[in-house]
Structure 1
Amino acid sequence: APTLWLLIAARAVQGLGAALMMALTLAFVAETVTKDRIGSAMGLLGAMSAIGTTLGPSLGGLLIAGFGWRAIFLVNVPLGVLTFALAWRALPTRSKTAQADRGTFDVMGTALLALTLAAYALAMTLGRGNFGLLNVGLLVAAGIGVFLFAAAQASVKNPLIQLASFRDYQLSASLAMSLVVATVMMATLVVAPFYLSRGLGLDAAMVGLVLSTGPLVSALSALVAGRLTDRFGAHKMMVAGLLSLTTGTFLLSLAMVTLGIAGYVVPITVTCIGYALFQTSNNAAVMAGISAGQRGVVSGLLNLSRNLGLITGASLMGAIFAVASAEKHQSIGLLSSEAARGMQVTFQTATVLALIALVLALLSARAAGRTESRGS
């Protein structure tokens, strides 16, 4: 038990550090890169993130096999020291004048937001697949937390989040799209392993190899997505990315077992190309259109919407797969036909969500076009 709680505490601290790094990285890029190059910079960030996602499971498996489970934590020590040294040397420092103008830190707002997010995360993860009274109570608590947080932000001089910023339709749409797309993409991580192992009958090594296709495609696509965003505009590429994402999820919803591995690899390639294009262009559109004083907060909101989508996707898509597959043969495991049925229904839902995001992107692009025409 002490070891378990120590691991939980260490993971919480690690997650906090990762969240801060992700939010600050977007803000730093928006501050140091010109607007005509911000798409390429966001694409490079996306590629590095995808490479880390690709290497993490395989490298972790090798370390555990060769040196034990402690190695996956110890390896982060030299990497963390190296990252700290690079950040200390390369990142710009804030002037004393800017430090004096920051105002007081919103402790109350931060505490309410943390408690609200914790309640929502627990509501979506507790119960081992059974959504009971505890989950409902936590969701209610999260809803009350949202109300209290909004009230607190409206009453303080220096709020954590300027509620008026949500009146900007393009920002609100981008955050909503980020949440929906993250929910969709989480299905590929939660549901696909069951389909590959049970539906296609692949062994563990082959499942891991096939699953690495998605992050690898995302890494390669993100670099190209950045160039396309700079050349053709963020909103056009956002729509194109969501079209590709919707097409990919629709193909995944067919779940044609007879096609074997190709029936998964081809659709997931189309899906991940669309995801990389959307993520790059969406981040570029948001970070290029805000003032310098709001970059840190808005980049944090982008990462928050993405993480909320991942939490929601893990719970929602997993539950849809479990219900749709209707596993009745627990003694012999999930059958191939049941896994295929679960895959189909899950990605039919994902396709509907992707279409919602596509509609939001079209409306956002239309609003951006009107703004540009008025400005000219």
Structure 2
Amino acid sequence: MSPSPRGSLISLSLSMLLASLGTSIANVGLPSLAQAFDASFHAVQWVVLAYLLAITAVIVSAGRLGDRLGRRRLLLGGLLLFSLACGLCGAAATLDMLIAARILQGLGAAVMMAMALGMVGDTVTKERTGRVMGLLGTMSAVGTAMGPSVGGVLLSLLGWRALFLVGVPLGLLAAALAWRFLPVDRHPAPASSGHRFWALLKDPPLRTGLAMSALVAAVIMATFVVGPFYLSRGLGLDPAWMGLTMAVGPCVAAVTGIPAGRLTDRLGSQRMTCGGLGILLCGALWLTVASGLLSYLGALIVLTAGYSLFQAANTTAVMRDVEATRRGTVSGLLNLSRNLGLIVGASALGAVFAWATPDVTHATAQSVANGLHATFGAASGLILLAAVMAWGRNHAVNGLHHLR
């Protein structure tokens, strides 16, 4: 590989890593932010929600905007906006200022995620596209896994502001690499109609797959929002150990992703979707009675393994029969459904935790544990709803096969 493609891939990989890191690194600081700003759980959870809402608002349209204005140009703008927003987050004097800066950071991250995938075809040959897509997916998982552990270390050594300031030099480095190595934009493409985009949603199996993706993402997000409070207030872990514990789930997802895909190819997406949901349900039910660090870790491992299997199988089921000209749009819809699920997990399931643990700042260890159990009791209900949807989709697909 020549230096230019190598530099381009480093830039795209760093862009994807930073965008996913921004999602998970702030979660570990929620208890510290609640204390620093003397704020409630409802207030500090907007540090997470603001970032996710900003990404969700523009993730679908960012790709079209890049086609019209130039993908390299838009990626550079997104990286610079992300770096500026990281600095503003670190300098925030009030919680409102921090939340506003997180919105800007999320807008930059949305552009980075969309353009990183969109520029693969501009950077490497078609024969290398698949492996580069895999590389970017791995970087996304690595960023999610690094967030709690790196954030925990930064939090214990330098305080909560370091969670955001670390993104400034990394974002500027990615921008410099993008400016130096990424290919110059070609002539902008004309705007395309959004009619087909909405027409896709008339397909029942696709709607079901998107809905299940959102429900499962909500359950996974609950581990990042509720987990820090249980580990710090319920179990008394310091920030470094809390971060390392929270990194277990994403690490399991990274390790089990490829085997999950192989099982899906071997046994079929319908069967493995139901199998993944079954394992997810076992992990969630375990968390409704978890007591102590080992029990929490065991439940988290089971939950995440089920998520990996479900994700591989459901994505395969959704993408399998999609026309080549619509794969990008459907992929964007899957990303959108996942982000919407993350928002539901952070807000709705976070509200369940806050209801069960009213005074989270001064709550006892048992009160926080009760909040964890109540949260994943509700999460179990979401998984059961997804299982009903999966059964209905499988029944409909099997009926079509019999008719044929």
Report if TM-score (shorter chain) is over 0.5: yes
Shift of 1:59: 3.9
Structure 1 partner of 2:37: none
Higher alpha-carbon deviation: 339-348 or 78-87 = 78-87
Structure 1 partner of 2:219: 184
1: distance between equivalents of 2:318 and 2:107? 28
- Which of 270, 295, 312 is the aligned partner of 1:235? 270
- Which of 108, 113, 116 is the aligned partner of 1:14? 108
Structure 2 partner of 1:336: 365
User: Compared with structure 1, are the counterparts of its residues 62 and 211 closer, same or farther at alpha carbon in structure 2 (3 Å cutoff)?
Assistant: closer
- Structure 2 unaligned runs (5+)? 1-87
The alignment covers a number of residue pairs equal to: 304
* 1:89-135: CA deviation from partner (whole Å, max 9, x where unpaired): 9xxx99x9xx98xx643xxxxxxxxxxxxxxxxxxxxxxxxxxxxxx
Identity %: 39
Structure 2 partner of 1:126: none
User: Compared with structure 1, are the counterparts of its residues 83 and 270 closer, same or farther at alpha carbon in structure 2 (3 Å cutoff)?
Assistant: farther
| Contact residue 270 and residue 317 of structure 2 kept, 8 A | yes
With the length of structure 1 as denominator, give the TM-score of the two structures: 0.69
Shift of 1:192: 1.2
Aligned pairs for 1:81-160 (under 5 A) are 82=177, 88=183, 104-105=191-192, 158-159=193-194
Matched, 1:196 2:231: yes
2: distance between equivalents of 1:70 and 1:250? 38
| Contact residue 148 and residue 247 of structure 2 kept, 8 A | no
1: distance between equivalents of 2:204 and 2:348? 27
With the length of structure 2 as denominator, give the TM-score of the two structures: 0.65
1: distance between equivalents of 2:121 and 2:394? 23
- Which of 312, 318, 342 is the aligned partner of 2:344? 312
* 1:19-52: CA deviation from partner (whole Å, max 9, x where unpaired): 4147759999xxx69xxxx9x9988765443222
Q: CA RMSD in A?
A: 3.7
The AA in structure 2 aligned to 1:74 is: P
Structure 2 partner of 1:53: 144
User: Compared with structure 1, are the counterparts of its residues 75 and 266 closer, same or farther at alpha carbon in structure 2 (3 Å cutoff)?
Assistant: same
Higher relative contact order (CA 8 A, sep 6+): 1
Shift of 1:299: 1.1
Structure 2 partner of 1:352: 381
| Contact residue 178 and residue 309 of structure 1 kept, 8 A | yes
1: distance between equivalents of 2:119 and 2:311? 15
User: Compared with structure 1, are the counterparts of its residues 358 and 342 closer, same or farther at alpha carbon in structure 2 (3 Å cutoff)?
Assistant: same
2: distance between equivalents of 1:85 and 1:231? 43
2: distance between equivalents of 1:55 and 1:85? 27
2: distance between equivalents of 1:13 and 1:202? 33
User: Compared with structure 1, are the counterparts of its residues 174 and 45 closer, same or farther at alpha carbon in structure 2 (3 Å cutoff)?
Assistant: farther
Shift of 1:211: 0.8
User: Compared with structure 1, are the counterparts of its residues 13 and 84 closer, same or farther at alpha carbon in structure 2 (3 Å cutoff)?
Assistant: farther
Shift of 1:15: 2.1
User: Compared with structure 1, are the counterparts of its residues 41 and 22 closer, same or farther at alpha carbon in structure 2 (3 Å cutoff)?
Assistant: closer
| Contact residue 274 and residue 390 of structure 2 kept, 8 A | yes
- Which of 297, 303, 315 is the aligned partner of 1:271? 303
Report the 3-state secondary structure (helix = DSSP H, G, I; strand = E; otherwise coil) of the residue aligned with 1:254: coil
The AA in structure 2 aligned to 1:171 is: L
The AA in structure 1 aligned to 2:234 is: G
Shift of 1:77: 3.0
Aligned pairs for 1:249-288 (under 5 A) are 249-255=284-290, 257=291, 260-288=292-320
User: Compared with structure 1, are the counterparts of its residues 22 and 342 closer, same or farther at alpha carbon in structure 2 (3 Å cutoff)?
Assistant: farther
Report the 3-state secondary structure (helix = DSSP H, G, I; strand = E; otherwise coil) of the residue aligned with 2:288: helix
* 1:217-258: CA deviation from partner (whole Å, max 9, x where unpaired): 111011111111121222221111111111100110113x2x
Structure 2 partner of 1:114: none
